[in-house]
Structures are given as C-alpha cells and as structure tokens.
Amino acid sequence: MNPPGAVRGRSAIVAVGNTEQGELPGISADELAVEGLRRTLAQAGIAKGAVNGLITCKSYGGFGIDTAIGRLAGMNPSYSATLDYGTCNFSLHLATAVIEAGLCDVVAIVYGTTQRSQRNTFSTPLGHPDESSVYGFLNVAGPAAMAFRRHMSLHGTTEADLGEVAVSQRRYAVDNPLAIFREPMSLEQYLAEPYLVEPLRRSDLCMISDGAACLIVASRERARDLTDKPVDVLGIAQQTGLRDRQNADQWMRPWIEQVAERIYPAAGISQADVDALYIQDPTSMWVLQMLEYYGFVATGGVGEAFRRGAVGHGGRLPLNSNGGQLSEAYMWGFLHLCEAVRQLRGDAGERQLPGIEVAQYCSTYGFMKAASTVLARSR
Amino acid sequence: MTESLALDAPFWEGARTGELRFQRCTDCGFLRWPAAGVCPECLSRSAVWEAVEPVGTVWSFVIYHRSYSRSAPPPPYLVALVELDCGVRLITTLAGSSADHTVGMRVRARFEEFLDRGVVPVFAAVE
C-alpha cells in the first residue's frame, strides 16, 4: 500500500499563469483573479468549458470567494470551494484530493489580490486577539524576528548568515521580468539597511503587492488531452500546529519537521533527487527554518550552506529561482509553484536551470499549518 | 485601553492590583493563556482566575523601528516573549536598555503605567 500523500502522478499541473505584479489600481481583486484565469487558459489553449472544478483562495478585504469568482467567470463547475488559507500548497492538495475522489477532473486554482492598492498594512495582530495589541506586537515581522534572535542565541547564527537568503534570491530576480525588485543587492548593502523589526531588515520581509496567479490541475487521463508537458504531482504532505500559542516554541514551528518526514516517502523519492527547491518566504527567517527542518542544511548552518555553494543562486541546489516573495512578488506562495512548473517544463526563459526533473515546494500558513509538494516532469 | 469586557478582562484587572493572573481549569488543572472559554487540554468550560508567581525567562525579544499601526507604541519599542515558570508564555515588554537584554534572561514582572494602556505587566531582569 502506498504511504499517505502518494499522489504519484494521478494529478498533474497542466498550465500555470499570472498577471503583472505590483500596484494595479482600477481593478477589483476578483476581476484580477479572473484575469489570471483568462490568461492561463488562453496561453495553454484550454477552453473555459473544460474546467469542471474551481478552488479559490480568500484574499484581503473579503474577496476571492468561489461563489463570487464563479459568477464573475461565468462558470458552473461540478465542484467548487474556497480556502481561507489557500497559500498555494493547500489549494493544490485539495485539488488532488477532489480529483482523486472523482468529483471533477480539471480544477482551476485561482488567487487574486489588490492588497497593495487597498493599503493592507498587516497591522492587526496575527491570530486570535490577545495581549499583542497592547504591546504593539504586529505583523509577521514580529514573530519572525523573535524566532531569528532566539536562533542566533541558540545556534550562533549571524545576521550575515540570514542575509544570504535575501541576497541569493535577489540574484535570481535580476533575470526575472515579473519581479518587482530587480536591482542587484550585495550582502554589504543588505547589512547596511536599517532594521525594520530588529534583528530583521527591509529585505528580510516581502513587500505587499497586487496581482493574480492561476494553476490548472487535471487527472492523469485528462492531463494528456490538455498539454504535451504535464507536471506530475508526485507526493503531498501536511501538518498543522493549530494549538498555536499552546505549542512550546510556537514561532520556531517545530511541527514542520513532521511534513519533512512524510514528504519523501509520499513522493517516492529521496531528498537527494530534488533538483530545485522552493520555499515560501514572507520572511527570510521562514526560509532558514524550512531549510533546517527539511534537512537541506544542518541546524545553524544556513549561512555556510550558501557561502560554500550547497544551496542558492549558483549553488548545487537552486532555491527560489524566481526571486521568491522577497524579490519577485507577494502572491501568497502561488508564484513559487508557477516557477517550479515553468522550470520543470523548460519554460523559464532567462532563468531556465539545466536538468530540472524534480522540484519541491515547502510552505507554511503562519503558525497554523505547513505543507510540501514534490513535482516532477512527466515521463 | 486595557478596559475590556472580553475574556481577558480579569488579566488586566489583576495587573492593576499588582498580580499576574491566568485561568486555571477546575477539571484538569491546566493553566491557560491567552484567555479562552474552553480548556485546550480537556475541553472543560469551567475555570477560575488564579494569581501566579510573576517570574520567568526571556524566550526572545525584538525592537520595532517602524509603526505598523497608529495604535502601536511610538517606535523604537521593544516586545518580548516571556516563558513564565508557571508554564504560560506571555507577550510583554522589558524595562531597561535593550543592550542589557539577553535570550534566557531571568525576569520578574513589575506593574507599571505603559503609554495610554494603564497599568500593565512590564518585566525586568532579576537582580
């Protein structure tokens, strides 16, 4: 019997697409989501009528509900749902589950946001209201900075070590026309930035942006009708930390380790088979955490791993080759999956990496959930 | 500011009388914070507020150099997470210069006026 999460190509991504990213005034979040869908279908030559499943992702301001998007897009899919925390991996996993159950066989996953134009400042405390607001503990920068200072104290990590994450990602973004931040950035420039939430700097945090992204996921049977370059979902894994503040070391998120234990058996690969790695990065600290929990680097060894070329730009294991959220755009992780699919299909243009057969994507939803997906070029 | 009809009102009332109080489940004895209507261990709805020894250890701390909200303290300001000896983890602030603060530092609560919030717990190093 297969291990849990062993999708093994029974679902495949057949198309990805996106709109421009940045500040896009004059269009609603839901219209933007539908525009992402339109472009994705048009580029892939897939008819809207072929889509019989719709999974949307709630976006800032109460947008992104499946019933509203379906109405706007003129669709009566056999199945639809909205995830409050779509953040890409979770939406993709739901798509594979409903395809597996036979509820539909071509699912459009859509996400659109205008949170930059709507001036989302992420100024409300994360999670349940508590003493955070009294002391001004706002924005994900707070918990991430807490986790980083503790990591420095426990493991001797330095600010220059963490800086390697943002610097490496910027090197990729220079070659990415979609990226918002394309100016080269050296480690010295990083270290010269003022603190935002000390010990984190501006470049450790992603900038809020507008945009849309879309993925089309199909059953193995339908995938071959829709594209000659499907990308197989090999395996998926998840774990929650819903106890939130009742979890010890809550901002270290140690339960991510359980996803790391499950994902490789699920995909039927070993970690050494991963040719390109994607880690969702609202903050560089989450990249550091996931590199360690998934075992790509030793605890406390992230800076060294970048410096000796084990991971990152120009290294043996490419990491966030789109520039990630830190440099490309804040699409709640959706653009990491779009990039992984483009690399696997050989569609990444200037950024195309050689010999990418297997890619892994790791993401989290704050302090609540973690997920990972392994994708492979279909054989 | 800390006047509240919410579940955590007894916590802020306690701070004004110089006490650190949390809910203790009267069924399983679990001490919980943030305040909640249900015990996250045994799911009982029965609890009493109880004062604890206001001592603990700094898990970590950060300094905000920008303001994310008009209601936030004026930057720069410090926020810490203190792991109390009673097991509760409390978001708070630390008195004194941040240059002297360390992860793992032993701290004790004082109860002081904090901006326009009234009297709230503020932790300081144990001498």
- Does the interface ipTM go beyond 0.85? yes
By a Cβ cutoff of 8 Å, what residues of chain B touch chain A?
1-2, 6, 8, 11, 32-35, 40, 59-66, 68-69, 71-73, 76-77, 79, 81, 89-93, 102-104, 114, 117, 120
Amino acid, res. A111:
Y
Instruction: Choose the weakest-confidence range: A127-141, A196-210, A273-287.
Output: A127-141
Q: How far apart, in Å, are the Cα atoms of A371 and each of A125, A213, A259, A263, B66?
A: 23, 19, 6, 9, 31
Token reading at A369: 């959930």
pTM: 0.96
A135 contact residues in B (CB cutoff 8 A): 73, 79, 91-93, 114, 120
Q: What is the pLDDT of residues A83-114, one digit of tens each?
A: 998 788 999 999 999 999 999 999 999 999 99
Each residue's pLDDT expressed in tens, for chain B with a length of 127 residues: 444 458 999 999 999 999 999 999 999 999 999 999 999 999 999 999 999 999 999 999 999 999 998 889 999 999 999 999 999 999 999 999 999 999 999 999 999 999 988 999 999 999 7
pLDDT at residue A127 is higher than 70: no
Distance from CA of B119 to the nearest CA of A (A): 11
B91 contact residues in A (CB cutoff 8 A): 130-132, 135, 137
Bridge partner list, B32:
B23
* Interface contact A149-B103, CB threshold 8 A: yes
A146 contact residues in B (CB cutoff 8 A): 59-62, 79, 81
pLDDT at residue A125 is higher than 60: no
- Name which of B79, B89, B103 is nearest A153 (Cβ-Cβ): B103
A243 contact residues in B (CB cutoff 8 A): 40
Q: What is the pLDDT of residues A260-293, one digit of tens each?
A: 999 999 999 999 999 999 999 999 999 999 999 9
* Interface contact B73-A136, CB threshold 8 A: yes
Nearest chain B residue (CA) to A199: B62
